[in-house]
Amino acid sequence: MLNFFRTVKYTPNENRYDAMKYRRCGSSGILLPAISLGLWHNFGDNDDKKKYKKVLFEAFDSGITHFDFANNYGSPPGSAEKNFGKILKKNFAGYRDEMIISTKAGYGMWPGPYGEWGSRKYLLASLDQSLQRLGADYVDIFYSHRFDPLTPLEETMEALSSAYHSGKTLYLGISNYGPKETMEAYEILKRKGIPLLIHQPRYSILYREPESGLLDVLKDNKIGCISYSPLAQGLLTSKYLTHIPKDSRIANPNGYLKEKDLTPSVVKTIKKLQKIADQRGQSLAQMAVSWLLQKKEITSVLVGARTQQQLQELIRALENIEFSEMELTKIDQIRSGI
């Protein structure tokens, strides 16, 4: 494995910034690519190293400058950061200043009472571990990955503040926070003179929870928004229209998507959405990404990809992010039928 990382030479596409679209994140000076690459899946020790390296190169060559992690991404947990760190050192070393690298802490990472949630001890220890795995002096964005109902929010935000002032992160974010908790986190950091740069919620055509107040909070306070799971863990693709493929996430007993999630109602909905995508000249996956990007509240869409071809398909969603009112109404009607 070490020889593989050492011997593959990489020279980026010199025209990599020509086609990608970039959007301002909140009121900050940061521009994020409309499509960012998430490394939740496909980049662990148990994944194909040649494939995921090609995906990373394809991403950067296409103008994707934002690479998103959490401390527990990959199998085993932490391996996604570790593997990216090797590529960063061997292939991307001269391009670090062209990248936005983010990581998160909040879910279970190590045994015992200090290995998850939102305590100061956990968050700062986790960030140090992430930096070690990445081989980096800092990350660009450090997130509280989930709201901790048992830890005072002041403590969680104080931990983020410490990370910010130490220079180990340039910006702060939160993920999976509700509207009320988001507003409170924003106010706490504001009192400390630190902006809340970005929120990362789960959001897709099928999952609409952010529309129940969160998007309004982000818009009103000029907080960026990067949506994860835009394809609903693969449901918003054509792969489940007729059967469950053997190499799919549902077929994996350890995956997050379960067979029970693929109800007859969901399949019916997917087929109807596929028809609209066909009429638009897009794949269903492309339409799912485009649907998010047509919303002014969305700064970037966080996608995952197992192959270069999958990533290229999703990037082509940028070719058509305009929807007619009739299309949007029809999509909402189909979604409400689940």
Q: How many residues does the chain have?
A: 338
In the 8-state DSSP scheme, what is residue 177?
-
pLDDT of the residue at 252: 55
Residue 213 burial (10 A CB sphere; 0-12, 13-18, 19+):
middle
Tokens found for residue 158: 């104080």
With respect to residue 279, please indicate whether it lies within any of the assigned structural domains: no
Query: Measured at the alpha carbon of residue 36, what is the angle toward residues 230 and 126, in degrees to the nearest 5?
Result: 95
pLDDT surpassing 90 at residue 336: no
CB 171, CB 197: distance < 8 Å: yes
With respect to residue 276, please indicate whether it lies within any of the assigned structural domains: no
pLDDT surpassing 70 at residue 60: yes
What digits encode the pLDDT tens for the residues 162-188?
A: 999 999 999 999 999 999 999 999 999
The model's pTM: 0.92
Cα(144)–Cα(116) distance, rounded to whole angstroms? 11
Q: How far is CA 212 from CA 22, 209, 319, 327, in A?
A: 27, 6, 29, 22
Rg (CA), the chain: 19
Of 2-6, 29-33, 238-242, highest mean pLDDT: 29-33
303 strand-pairing partners: 37
Cα(148)–Cα(63) distance, rounded to whole angstroms? 35
Cα(303)–Cα(46) distance, rounded to whole angstroms? 20
With respect to residue 36, please indicate whether it lies within any of the assigned structural domains: yes
Tokens found for residue 40: 């939740």
CB 153, CB 185: distance < 8 Å: yes
Cα(118)–Cα(220) distance, rounded to whole angstroms? 26
Parent domain of 134: 2-234+284-324
With respect to residue 29, please indicate whether it lies within any of the assigned structural domains: yes
pLDDT of the residue at 82: 98
What's the count of helices (H) and strands (E) in the chain, helices before strands?
Answer: 11, 10
State the Cα torsion 136-109-171-54 to the nearest 10°: 50
pLDDT of the residue at 247: 60
CB 141, CB 100: distance < 8 Å: yes
With respect to residue 168, please indicate whether it lies within any of the assigned structural domains: yes
With respect to residue 8, please indicate whether it lies within any of the assigned structural domains: yes
Q: What is the CATH number of the domain that holds 207?
A: 3.20.20.100
With respect to residue 126, please indicate whether it lies within any of the assigned structural domains: yes
Question: To the nearest whole percent, how much of the chain has pLDDT over 90?
Answer: 87
What digits encode the pLDDT tens for the residues 260-290?
A: 777 888 889 999 999 999 999 999 999 999 9
With respect to residue 241, please indicate whether it lies within any of the assigned structural domains: no
CB atoms within 10 A of CB 46: 9
- Tally of structural domains, the chain: 1
What digits encode the pLDDT tens for the residues 126-153?
A: 999 999 999 999 999 999 999 999 999 9
pLDDT surpassing 90 at residue 9: no
How is 285-322 classified by DSSP, letter by letter? HHHHHHHHHTSTT-SEEEE--SSHHHHHHHHGGGG---
Question: To the nearest whole percent, how much of the chain has pLDDT over 70?
Answer: 91
Which of 121, 97, 98, 99 shows the shortest CA–CA distance to 110?
121
